[in-house]
A and B are shown apart, each in its own frame.
Chain A
Amino acid sequence: MPMASASPMIVVTGLGATTPLGGDVESTWRAVLAGQSGVNALDNSWAEDYGVVANFAATLKVSADAVLSPQEQRRSDPSAQYALIAARQAWADAGAPATRPERLAVVMATGIGGLHTMLGAWDTVRERGARRLLPLTVPMLMPNSPAAAVAIDLSARGGAHAPVSACASGAEAVVTGARLIELGLADVVVAGGAEAAIHPLTLGAFARMRALSTRSDSPQTASRPYCVTRDGFVMGEGAGALVLESAAHAEARGAAAKAVLAGVGSSSDAYDVAPPDPTGQGQLRAMRAALAAAGPAVAANLAHVNAHATATPAGDVVEAKAIVAALAEVLGTAAAARSVPVSATKSMTGHLLGAAGAVESILAILALRDRLAPPTINIQELDPQVPCQVVRDRPRPLPPAGPLAALNNAFGFGGHNMALVFATPS
Chain B
Amino acid sequence: MALDKNDVLEGLTEIIVEETGIDADQIALDKSFADDLDIDSLSMMTILALAEDRFDVEIPDDAVAGLTTLADAVDHIAGA
Name the distance in Å between A360's Cβ and chain B's nearest Cβ. 35
CA distance A131 to B50 in the complex (A): 11
A132:B49 contact, CB within 8 angstroms? yes
Residues of chain A contacted by B18 (CB below 8 angstroms): 70-71, 74
Interface positions of A from 180 to 235, Cβ below 8 Å from B: none
B42:A71 contact, CB within 8 angstroms? no
Say yes or no: is A67 at the interface (Cβ < 8 Å to chain B): no
CA distance A139 to B18 in the complex (A): 19
Residues of chain A contacted by B42 (CB below 8 angstroms): 135-136, 139
Say yes or no: is B68 at the interface (Cβ < 8 Å to chain A): no
A70:B49 contact, CB within 8 angstroms? no
Contact for B45 among A74, A132, A135, CB less than 8 A:
A135
Interface string of B21-45 (1 = CB under 8 A from A): 1000000000000000000001001
A70:B21 contact, CB within 8 angstroms? yes
B21:A136 contact, CB within 8 angstroms? no
Name the distance in Å between B15's Cβ and chain A's nearest Cβ. 11
Residues of chain B contacted by A134 (CB below 8 angstroms): 46, 49-50
Residues of chain B contacted by A131 (CB below 8 angstroms): 52, 58
Residues of chain B contacted by A70 (CB below 8 angstroms): 18, 21
Residues of chain A contacted by B21 (CB below 8 angstroms): 69-71
Say yes or no: is B4 at the interface (Cβ < 8 Å to chain A): no
Name the distance in Å between A83's Cβ and chain B's nearest Cβ. 20
Interface band, chain B: 10 to 19
CA distance A75 to B19 in the complex (A): 8
A74:B49 contact, CB within 8 angstroms? no
Report the nearest B residue to A135, measured CB to CB.
Answer: B45
CA distance A85 to B18 in the complex (A): 20
Name the distance in Å between A110's Cβ and chain B's nearest Cβ. 22
CA distance A14 to B76 in the complex (A): 51
A71:B53 contact, CB within 8 angstroms? no
Residues of chain B contacted by A74 (CB below 8 angstroms): 18-19
Residues of chain B contacted by A69 (CB below 8 angstroms): 21
Name the distance in Å between A400's Cβ and chain B's nearest Cβ. 51
CA distance A132 to B58 in the complex (A): 10
Residues of chain B contacted by A132 (CB below 8 angstroms): 49, 52-53
Report the nearest B residue to A139, measured CB to CB.
Answer: B42
Name the distance in Å between B39's Cβ and chain A's nearest Cβ. 12
Residues of chain B contacted by A75 (CB below 8 angstroms): 19
B20:A136 contact, CB within 8 angstroms? no
State whether A136 and B46 are in contact (beta carbons under 8 Å apart), knowing that A70-B18, A74-B18 are contacts in the complex: yes
CA distance A135 to B45 in the complex (A): 6
B45:A71 contact, CB within 8 angstroms? no
Name the distance in Å between A137's Cβ and chain B's nearest Cβ. 10
CA distance A253 to B58 in the complex (A): 56
CA distance A133 to B58 in the complex (A): 13
B20:A135 contact, CB within 8 angstroms? no
Name the distance in Å between B20's Cβ and chain A's nearest Cβ. 6
CA distance A135 to B46 in the complex (A): 6
Interface positions of B from 41 to 77, Cβ below 8 Å from A: 42, 45-46, 49-50, 52-53, 58
CA distance A43 to B20 in the complex (A): 31
Report the nearest A residue to B20, measured CB to CB.
Answer: A71
CA distance A95 to B53 in the complex (A): 44
Given contacts A75-B19, A131-B58, A134-B49, 4 further A-B contacts (CB under 8 A): A70-B18, A132-B49, A134-B50, A136-B42
Chain B residues in the interface with A (C-beta under 8 A): 18-21, 42, 45-46, 49-50, 52-53, 58
Chain A residues in the interface with B (C-beta under 8 A): 69-71, 74-75, 131-136, 139
* A/B interface sample: 21 pairs, CB < 8 A: A69-B21, A70-B18, A70-B21, A71-B18, A71-B19, A71-B20, A71-B21, A74-B18, A75-B19, A131-B52, A131-B58, A132-B52, A132-B53, A134-B46, A134-B50, A135-B42, A135-B45, A135-B46, A136-B42, A136-B46, A139-B42
